[in-house]
Amino acid sequence: MVQKLIKFPGLLLFILLLSAPLFPAPDQAELSFRSLQKSFTIKDEENFGKEASLFLKKFPGSIHVPEVNLLLADKESDTDLAVEKYRSVIKNYSRFKRREYALYKICQVLDLKSKWKELLAESDSGIKLFPNGVYSNYFRFMHITASLMLEDYNTARNESVKLTEHTHDFETLSMALFLLAETEKKVRGNSKSYILDLKELATGFGKSEIYPSVILRLAVFYDEKKDYDRAYSAYSDIVELYPDSPEADLSIQNIGRLKKLNLKKVSYIPDNLIVKNTDDLDLSPENEVNHEIDENYYSVAIGPYTKSKDTDGMIRILKNYDSVNKVKTAYGYMIYLGRYGNTESALETRIRLAEEYGINGNIVKVSAHDKKSYIYEDR
């Protein structure tokens, strides 16, 4: 019998091969994770949360546990809870490759909620932890924005300059120069350094995504300087070249205000003479131009609130304020309080909110045109 088996070793090997599977079957944890990924896009928050929690309970040792926790954070509609969940991912999974993404999402929420001190700290962590990461430039941009909002203009300027010196990406460079210009405007007003920055952007970055905003900044510069032909020409170009842009809505209203002056179209790209005739320091008010209060005004933004009923409750508290508007956004609900003709009046309401209710509001400029409203800037 032994001799017969020795004579036919090939037959034994063939039988063994037939009995073995050609490919190893995926384990149950892997199958459950794939199903969970599909559920993320098709199930609501509550049902997805149940499925994800069941996965974490059944497969606590799975390599996909960090990713599942990240999916739970992404699915969370309450922004404060989402931040907690993202922070938990960063803290508990030090080797997880998508920790950078989690920190980026935290910064996005903080930016949305105008929590500038927290954003400054978190974006600084992003810069230090992920200096060459996918979101490194976003961290830098958010850091500059937070610095501007906190009136730390030295940091904003230094970080903007660093970006211009170390990037070769066209869009990143254009945004860095734009933020540098914004810093100069805050510090020196409509100064020579500010118009030089705008000139560089206007002449070298015509194909950048930020270009409509550059032309709008030029238009406002001329408007505030009472150089109305150039202001009118810049506003008109925005409407003609970028009709679907938010900047076009604001430009249309300013054109309507300037039309009665019988203006002509001229070149508005700054030349050497314009630069030469601009003061080194100009501290004239930024909002000297009188806008029609019904078309272009300031409000105090509060929120976002995750649930409609919470928003309605806050509106009831604020019923003694004029013009309280509730707006649905991608992140929840926002409340816009008041229709003020200048930032000073809006600031009074913002301070009152903080003193009476401990609410940190944010001043925004609202442009209304053809039944559309666009929140143009926040301060």
* Band of pLDDT at residue 1, cut at 50, 70 and 90: very low
In DSSP terms, 302 is beta-bridged to: 335
Q: Going by CATH, does the domain composed of 296-378 fall within 3.40.50.1240? A: no
pLDDT, one tens digit per residue, over 91-110 is 999 999 999 999 999 999 99
| Confidence check: pLDDT of 83 > 50 | yes
pLDDT: which is higher, 127 or 316: 127
* Angle of the 65-75 helix axis to the 79-92 helix axis, nearest 10: 160
* pLDDT number for residue 71: 96
In order of 12, 159, 242, 301, the CA distances from 155 in angstroms are 76, 6, 33, 26
Give CA angle at 39 (111, 90), nearest 5°.
40
Q: Are 268 and 222 in contact (CB under 8 A)?
A: yes
* Band of pLDDT at residue 357, cut at 50, 70 and 90: confident
CB atoms within 10 A of CB 105: 19
C-alpha–C-alpha distance, residues 342 and 348, integer Å: 11
Categorise residue 263: left if φ over 0, alpha if ψ from -120 to 50, beta otherwise. Answer: beta
Task: State both tokens at 218.
Answer: 């030029």
On the question of a common fold for 28-116 and 296-378, the answer reads no
* pLDDT number for residue 374: 60
DSSP-assigned letter for residue 189: S
Give the lowest-confidence range in 12-21, 171-180, 233-242: 12-21
Categorise residue 376: left if φ over 0, alpha if ψ from -120 to 50, beta otherwise. Answer: alpha
| Confidence check: pLDDT of 283 > 80 | no
Q: Is the peptide bond prior to 304 cis by the omega test (within 30 degrees of 0)? A: yes
| Confidence check: pLDDT of 171 > 60 | yes
Give the lowest-confidence range in 13-17, 260-264, 266-270: 13-17
pLDDT: which is higher, 346 or 229: 229
Domain ranges of the chain: 28-116, 151-276, 296-378
Which CATH superfamily groups domain 28-116? Tetratricopeptide repeat domain (1.25.40.10)
* Band of pLDDT at residue 186, cut at 50, 70 and 90: confident
Give backbone dihedrals phi and psi of 338, rounded to 5 degrees, phi first: 85, 160
* pLDDT number for residue 373: 56
Half-sphere exposure of 107 (CA within 13 A, CB side): 26
**Which residues, in sequence order, are CB contacts of 107 under 8 Å at separation 6+?**
119, 122, 123, 126, 138, 139, 142
* pLDDT number for residue 312: 80
Identify the three-state secondary structure at position 234.
Answer: helix
* pLDDT number for residue 282: 74
| Confidence check: pLDDT of 286 > 60 | no
| Confidence check: pLDDT of 281 > 80 | no
* pLDDT number for residue 284: 47
| Confidence check: pLDDT of 7 > 60 | no
Return the sign of the alpha-carbon dihedral for residues 297, 303, 307, 309: negative
* Band of pLDDT at residue 5, cut at 50, 70 and 90: very low
Identify the three-state secondary structure at position 191.
Answer: coil
Please state, rounded to an integer, the average pLDDT across all residues of the chain: 84
Categorise residue 80: left if φ over 0, alpha if ψ from -120 to 50, beta otherwise. Answer: alpha
> What's the CATH class of domain 151-276?
mainly alpha
pLDDT: which is higher, 51 or 246: 51
Summarize the confidence of residues 14-28 as an average pLDDT. 55
| Confidence check: pLDDT of 332 > 90 | no
Task: State both tokens at 157.
Answer: 């300027």
Residue environment code for 28-63, b if the CB has 16+ CB neighbours within 10 A, otherwise e: ebeebbeebeebeeebeeeebeeebeebeeebeebe
C-alpha–C-alpha distance, residues 324 and 300, integer Å: 10
Summarize the confidence of residues 222-240 as an average pLDDT. 95
| Confidence check: pLDDT of 273 > 60 | yes
C-alpha–C-alpha distance, residues 141 and 161, integer Å: 12
pLDDT: which is higher, 258 or 1: 258
Summarize the confidence of residues 23-47 as an average pLDDT. 84
